[in-house]
Structure 1
C-alpha cells in the first residue's frame, strides 16, 4: 500500500488533553508515604473479527502518530535532537502505520463497553454486530505503571449479510482506516511461530493474544490442553498492603518521572489533525518457565496506578473527578497484578541483553543465548509509541545468584496444570501475561522444550 507523505508537522507542550492527564500521585502504603506518577487515561475496547465467508480475520490499518514520532525521533540521525530540528516531511509516513484489531476508546457517555465495541465494528469495518452477539474474551490491565486502565477484548464472526458500509472510521475526526484481511495460516504463524522463529506484529500485544486465543480455544482442529476442564485455580494476591490517603497534584516536575507530553499537529491525506503524545522508552520482557518443575513464573506487583485505575471504572465512580472518589473503602487486592519481568532498553541497544539483566536481578543467571525471541509488538500504539521484544527462557538451567529485593514485587509460580484456569481469569495483568500463559500451554506442553 502507498502511504501519503506527512507535512506541516509541529509540536506544542502547553495544552489540555481529554486523552491524558499526567499528575503526581501521593499515598500512604501500610503507614509509609509514597509518591509516584499517574496518567489519567480512558479505557478501551478491541474486537477480533472472523469473516465466515472469506475464512479470514479482519483487522484494520491506520496511521499512528506516536509510532511515527517515536521511530523517527529515535533514529540515529535524529537522536538527541529537539523535535523542531527534525525534517519530519522527509520520512515515509508508512513508518507510522499499524495493523491492529478493530478498537476504540470508552468515551461515549451512557454506553456500555459492549455497545461501544458494536459501534466501532460498524464505524471502522462496516459490519453490524449486535452487542449481545459479541463474545467477551478477557479484560486486560493496560498501562499498569501509569494509568491502570482496562481494555475489554471481544470476539465476533461476521459475513456479507451483515455488511452496512465500507467502514473506514470517523472521517470527521480525521480517521483514515483501511481494512486488512489475514488468512488463517498467516494468523497461525503469529499465534504459534515455528521453532527458531518469532512472531512480529506492527501492532499491540493484544493482536498476539487474540490470535493465540482463537487457535487455543476456538479452532476445531486444535486439541490442546486449554480445552481440558480447568482445575479451579484462581489467583489471589499474597501479602496484601493497604493503600490510603490518595491525593493528586498536577503541578509536578515532569522530568522526575520521564513524563513529557506533546501535542503533535500534522497534515496527512489532506487532513490536518492533532494528536496527544507521551512517548516512552522501548522495553524487553521475558516469559520465565521452569521446565523441570513445569511452572510458569510471574511477578506479583503492587501497582498504585492500577488501584486508582480500577476504582475509576467502578460503576459508582464513572465520570467522577479523581478528588471526588472515596478510595478509603476499596479492596486493596485490586492494586495487584501478575506481570512478566520487564526492563527498559536504551536506544540502539540489544533488547536480549536487558532481558537477561532483568532476569538476573530476580536471582537467575543465564547466558544471553539462552533467551529465545518469541515475539515483537508495539504496546504504545496510541500515545507512547514504544516497542517491545518478548523473550522466553528456562530458569531450571540457571545458576542461582543474589536477588535484588523489591518490597512491591513477589515471585509467583503457577503450575502448568493450573494455567487453563488462570487463562480465563479477568483483569489479572496486561496482554503479555495472558500471552505467556498461552505460550506455555500451546508451545511448551506440546513440544516439551525451550
Structure 2
C-alpha cells in the first residue's frame, strides 16, 4: 500500500513540473527518519479535552497550533499569481504512512519514497508567533518568501477561517496584495534554513489547479486562495 501511495503522489508532482519557478532552489534531502514528539515541542502542544455533552462524558484529542496568515499575491506587471514551493515533512509522512497512524521506526528508503513526494505548492504564508499585527506579519512573509516589498497598509484582509477543526483548529487569516516588478527587492526564498522556491502561475494555469478532477499535493489554502482570486479579481 505504501508504494501505491508513493507512486500516485509522484505522478501528481510530475504533472506540475512544467510550472515556472525562480528564486532559491530546494535543498537536497539525503536522509529522513522519525522520532516520538518531545514534550517541549516549539510548535505544537497535544492534549486531551474532557467534557460532558447531553449528559454523556466525552474525550477528544487536540493538537494546539499557532494561528497563521496566508497571502494571495498577484503580480500585475506580468499578470501572474505568485506561490511558493517547498518540502513539507507532514505531507511527506502522510503519503509515506497512508491512511494509518504509523510512525516509521527505521530510516526511510529514499529510492522508494523520494523527498519530492512532500513538495507542495502554496500561497505565501507564516505562523503568528510575533507581537505584531496580522497585516505586518503578512507583509514580512511576502518580503521574505517572495521577495516583494508590500507595506502592511496595502494588505487587503479577505477572510478568516479555521483549519483542521477535528483536531487542531488554528485560525488562518487570508490577505490579498498586488505587486509589480518594481517592488521586487530580492529573490525571496525565506529566511534562516528555509528552502523555498518562488513560483508564478498564469491565470489559465491557476484555473487548472482548481478544475474538476484536479489533484493537488497541498493544503486547502492553495485551493481556497486561488478560487477566491478567480471569483473576485478576474
TM-score between the two structures when normalised by the length of structure 2: 0.81
What's the CA shift for 1:165? 1.0
Distance 1:20 1:135 in 2: 29
SS in 1 for 2:188: coil
Distance 2:152 2:109 in 1: 41
CA contact (8 A) 1:141 1:151 kept: yes
**Partner of 2:187 in structure 1?**
166
After the TM superposition, which residues 102-251 of structure 1 pair with which residues of structure 2 at under 5 Å, given as runs? 102-108=124-130, 110-170=131-191, 172=192, 174-191=193-210, 193=211, 197-219=212-234
Q: Kindly provide the CA deviation profile for residues 401-427 of structure 1, in whole angstroms up to 9, marking residues without a partner as x.
A: xxxxxxxxxxxxxxxxxxxxxxxxxxx
Structure 2 segments unaligned to the other structure (5+ residues) = 1-16, 18-24
- Structure 1 stretches (4+) deviating beyond 4 angstroms? 1-5, 79-82
- The correspondence for 1:64, drawn from 88, 110, 115, is 88
**Partner of 2:7 in structure 1?**
none
Distance 1:50 1:22, change over 3 A: same
Distance 2:62 2:102 in 1: 27
Q: How many residue pairs align between the two structures?
A: 209
- The correspondence for 2:79, drawn from 34, 55, 58, is 55
What value does the CA root-mean-square deviation take over the aligned residues? 2.3
Distance 1:100 1:6 in 2: 20
Distance 1:80 1:115 in 2: 37
Distance 1:82 1:127 in 2: 39
SS in 1 for 2:222: helix
Structure 1 segments unaligned to the other structure (5+ residues) = 220-450
**Partner of 1:17 in structure 2?**
41
CA contact (8 A) 1:23 1:38 kept: yes
Distance 1:218 1:5, change over 3 A: closer
Distance 1:86 1:80, change over 3 A: farther
Is structure 2 residue 117 aligned with structure 1 residue 87? no
SS in 2 for 1:140: strand
SS in 2 for 1:111: coil
Distance 1:64 1:135, change over 3 A: same
CA contact (8 A) 2:26 2:197 kept: no
